[in-house]
Structure 1
Amino acid sequence: MKIIKQTYQMNSQSLLFILVFAYFLAIVIAPLFTPHDPLQINMNERLLKPSEEHLFGTDHLGRDLFSRILTGGQVTVGTGLLVLIIVLLVGVPLGMVSGFIGGRFDRYFMRIIDSFMAFPDFIIAIVLSGILGPSMLNLIFAIVVAKWGSYARLVRSTVLSEKEKDYVLMAVVNGLSAFQIIRKHLLPHVMGNVLVLATLDFGKIILMIASLSYIGLGAQPPTPEWGAMLNESTPYVQSSPHLMIIPGIAIMCTVLISNLVGDVLRDRFDVKG
Structure 2
Amino acid sequence: MLLRLTRPNEQPTASAPARSLLRRVWRHKSGRIGLILSILLVLLAAIGYVWTPYDPDLPNFALAMKPPSGTHLLGTDEMGRDVFSRIFNAAHRSIGAAFLVLACSFLIGLFVGILSGLMGGLVDTLMMRLVDIVMALPSLVLAFAILGILGPGFKNLLVALILSDWAWYARLARSLAIGSGTRPDILTAKMSGISFSRIVLTHLLPGIATKLGVMATLAFGSMIGAISGLSFLGLGVQPPHAEWGAMLSQSRLYFDIAPWLLLSPAIAILLSVLSANLIGHALRDVTEVKKQ
Task: State the TM-score, normalizing by the size of structure 1.
Answer: 0.89
Structure 1 residue 108 and structure 2 residue 126: aligned?
yes
Structure 1 residue 68 and structure 2 residue 81: aligned?
no
Q: Secondary structure at the match of 2:219?
A: helix
Question: After superposition, what is the alpha-carbon deviation per residue over 1:25-46, rounded to whole angstroms, capped at 9, x for unaligned?
Answer: 2321245452211111111111
Which of 242, 260, 278 is matched with 1:260 structurally? 278
Which of 205, 208, 231 is matched with 1:190 structurally? 208
The Cα shift of 1:19 comes to 3.5
Q: Distance in 1 between matches of 2:65 and 2:229?
A: 24
TM-aligned CA distance change 1:225 to 1:13, over 3 Å: closer
Higher RCO structure, 1 or 2 (CA under 8 Å, sep 6+): 2
Amino acid at match of 2:181: K
Q: Which residue of 2 aligns with 1:216?
A: 234
Q: Which residue of 2 aligns with 1:151?
A: 169
Q: Which residue of 1 aligns with 2:9?
A: none
Q: Contact conserved, 1:31 with 1:67, CA < 8 A, in 2?
A: no
Q: Which moved more, 1:141-150 or 1:128-137?
A: 128-137
Q: Distance in 2 between matches of 1:123 and 1:12?
A: 33
Q: Distance in 1 between matches of 2:230 and 2:53?
A: 29
Q: Distance in 1 between matches of 2:31 and 2:235?
A: 37
Q: Secondary structure at the match of 1:50?
A: coil
Q: Distance in 1 between matches of 2:105 and 2:285?
A: 24
Q: Contact conserved, 1:213 with 1:227, CA < 8 A, in 2?
A: yes
> How many percent identity over aligned positions?
40
Q: Aligned runs of 1:168-179 on 2, under 5 Å?
A: 168-179=186-197
Q: Contact conserved, 1:100 with 1:163, CA < 8 A, in 2?
A: no
Unaligned runs of 5+ in 1: 1-5
Q: Aligned runs of 1:1-273 on 2, under 5 Å?
A: 9-10=27-28, 13-30=31-48, 32-270=50-288
Q: Distance in 2 between matches of 1:55 and 1:236?
A: 18
Q: Which moved more, 1:168-177 or 1:42-51?
A: 168-177
The count of residues paired between Structure 1 and Structure 2 equals 266
Q: Secondary structure at the match of 1:163?
A: helix
The Cα shift of 1:89 comes to 1.8
Q: Which residue of 1 aligns with 2:3?
A: none
Q: Contact conserved, 1:210 with 1:228, CA < 8 A, in 2?
A: yes
Question: After superposition, what is the alpha-carbon deviation per residue over 1:208-235, rounded to whole angstroms, capped at 9, x for unaligned?
Answer: 1111111111110001111111111122
Unaligned runs of 5+ in 2: 1-23
